[in-house]
Amino acid sequence: MAYFEWASDMVIDHDGPIDQDHRRLVAQVNRLHDATSQGSGQEIVAGLLEELLADTKEHLAHEERFMASVGFPESEAHRKGHDHFVAELVRLKELYEGGSPTVATRLSQLLRDWLSLHIRRNDKEVRLFMDKQRRLKALKKS
Give the separation between CA 2 and CA 57, rounded to whole angstroms: 25
Give the separation between CA 138 and CA 76, rounded to whole angstroms: 28
The model's pLDDT over 70-114, given as tens digits with 9 standing for 90+, comes to 899 999 999 999 999 999 999 999 999 999 999 999 999 999 999
Q: Which ranges of the chain would DSSP assign to H, the alpha helix?
A: 17-37, 41-70, 75-97, 103-113, 124-141
The model's pLDDT over 12-67, given as tens digits with 9 standing for 90+, comes to 988 999 999 999 999 999 999 999 999 998 899 999 999 999 999 999 998 999 89
Written as one letter, the residue type at 57 is K
pLDDT of 137: 87
DSSP 8-state code for residue 99: T
